[in-house]
Amino acid sequence: MRMRLKTVFVLYFMVSLLGLIYALMQLGQRCDCREHNLPKERAISRLRGELHRLQEQIKSEETKQSQNQPAKASIPTIFVITPTYTRPVQKAELTRLSHTFLHVPQLHWVVVEDSQHKTSLVRDLLAKSGLSYTHLNVVTAKENKLQEGDPRWKKPRGVEQRNEALRWLREGAQSQQGVVYFADDDNTYSLQLFDEMRNTQRVSVWPVGLVGGMKYEKPVVEGGKVVRFHTGWNPSRPFPIDMAGFAVSLRLVLANPDSRFDSMAPIGFLESSFLQGLVTIDQLEPKADKCSLVLVWHTRTEKPKMKREEALQAQGLGSDPDVEV
Ligand code: UGA
Ligand code: MN
């Protein structure tokens, strides 16, 4: 009886052990799941095929585009130099300008503040602009600055700022492939203007609208050359041309390290003070369909009246000074 019980016990033990071994073996076994996974594999291979087809399509589109137009990096950079100063309309002017420049490929905006310090208004605006830019500042010496009530024409404006930008260009070991354009912050610029100036060899010129008390001023072109200027005042100036009416090649600016704007230049001679060391009239390159198109306008923004603001401020009810305008 005792023997039988022992045998039963051993048998029971053996069967359990075998069961356990079988279960463990099953765990390590690879199951034949192919049948089960087939739809998933098919979907993956279909998607792989689709991905490959799309990658090929993108590649061929890119090749087509690069054959049609030159790569951005190979077109000359336009360095746009803008002097600017603090006043109620400054943010509006710079916003408008930045939106124009965003449409122009390969443009670098050099903004030079006429101030002792860089302001947070300009710094933040540039940082959010989405443009490639350089932010500089230099304050105009007091004796060269217009005083309250002075007529606008009494002193030239933005002179030291443009010279500061020229210094930056010359110091910066920039690539030689470039164009320099002086764009005041209040003018209006068409996009076509930038196409016109892009391939300037020395100095290119074009008409400027609404300037000098006229509908437009412009170089007069005969036989493809500038022969004189259509202007209302002193046509015998070396270059009777507005700041907005010319662009200079970067190579020429770098080759003439001393050329700059003269803050002592008599009224109307500021542009001449810079250009006369760089180029002669017969070397000028007329653009904008032989200078027959107006692509830039010498607009001026009205100075806003602040009478109500001042009255409210006197009552302690002025607009919140923390709101940037
Ligand atoms: C005209 C020309 O278009 C300017 O290029 C030239 O500098 C000016 O005359 C001059 O005679 O100096 P105008 O409209 O009379 O322009 O000048 P503004 O637009 O008042 O000033 C030209 C640039 O200098 C602007 O970008 C302006 O923001 C800047 N500026 C003006 C300063 O940086 N500081 C100032 O105190 C005043
Ligand atoms: Mn202006």
Give the pLDDT confidence of 131-160 residue by residue, as tens digits: 999 999 999 998 887 777 777 667 899 999
Q: What are the pLDDT digits (tens) for 28-74?
A: 454 444 445 557 777 766 777 676 666 666 665 654 454 555 455 68
Secondary structure element (H or E) that encloses residue 4, with its range: helix 2-28
Q: Which atom of ligand 1 is nearest to the CA of 182?
A: 5
Residue owning the nearest CA to atom 20 of ligand 1: 157
Q: Which of 165, 248, 159 is nearest to 203 (CA)?
A: 248
User: Largest Cα–Cα distance of the chain, in whole Å?
Assistant: 139
The ligand placed nearest to the CA atom of residue 245 is 1
CB of 284 closer than 8 Å to CB of 290: no
pTM: 0.80
How far apart are the CA of 149 and the centre of ligand 1, in A?
Answer: 16
**Helices 120-129 and 90-101: angle between axes, nearest 10 degrees:** 20
Confidence of residue 13 (pLDDT cuts 50, 70, 90): low
Q: In degrees, to the nearest 5, what angle opens at C-alpha 66 toward C-alphas 62 and 69?
A: 135
Q: Which atom of ligand 1 is nearest to the CA of 183?
A: 26
| pLDDT value for 35 | 47
| pLDDT value for 12 | 66
How far apart are the CA of 201 and the centre of ligand 1, in A?
Answer: 26
Question: Out of 142-146, 168-172, 259-263, 270-274, which region has the weakest mean confidence (pLDDT)?
Answer: 142-146
State the average pLDDT over residues 247-257. Answer: 96
Q: How many CA atoms lie within 13 A of 83 on its CB side?
A: 20
What is the C-alpha separation between 206 and 191, in angstroms, rounded? 14
